[in-house]
């Protein structure tokens, strides 16, 4: 399976390198459209290769997708933490109740009964 994954990743890397070489022309990225420059009084612009624009867009899209999914799953993670805490409290309470009910019993019988309840 790792071999197949390595081949697939290698093919994808090769495809990205080919796309990068095919799109080496320089493009100008500007922050604002030309119509807004008189209002803003400045306009940042960068000249970078087209493949950097494409790969940057892909990277930003993946990052935003991860952040969106992380925020969406927050309620499930918090619910799981709450259930773990509740389970720990209930386990402690069960142990206290077992200790109280076995106070007058023989220690050997209490150990045997404890093994039966865990099975």
User: What predicted TM-score, i.e. pTM, was given to this entire model?
Assistant: 0.59
pLDDT in tens, 75-116: 999 999 999 999 999 999 998 888 777 666 666 666 666 655
Per domain, the residue ranges of the chain are 26-60, 72-101
H or E stretch including 46?
Answer: strand 45-49
pLDDT of amino acid 105? 64
In the predicted model, what is the mean pLDDT of residues 42-65?
91
In whole angstroms, what is the distance from residue 101 CA to residue 105 CA?
A: 8
């Amino acid at each position: 399976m790792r071999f197949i994954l390595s081949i697939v990743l290698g093919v994808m890397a090769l495809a990205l390198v080919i796309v990068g070489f095919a799109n080496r022309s320089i493009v100008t990225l500007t922050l604002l459209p030309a119509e807004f420059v008189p209002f803003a009084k400045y306009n940042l612009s960068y000249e970078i290769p087209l493949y950097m624009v494409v790969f940057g867009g892909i990277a930003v899209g993946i990052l935003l997708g991860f952040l969106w999914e992380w925020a969406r799953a927050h309620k499930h993670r918090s619910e799981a933490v709450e259930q773990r805490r509740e389970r720990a409290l209930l386990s402690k309470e069960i142990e206290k109740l077992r200790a109280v009910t076995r106070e007058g019993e023989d220690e050997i019988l209490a150990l045997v009964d404890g093994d039966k309840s865990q099975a």
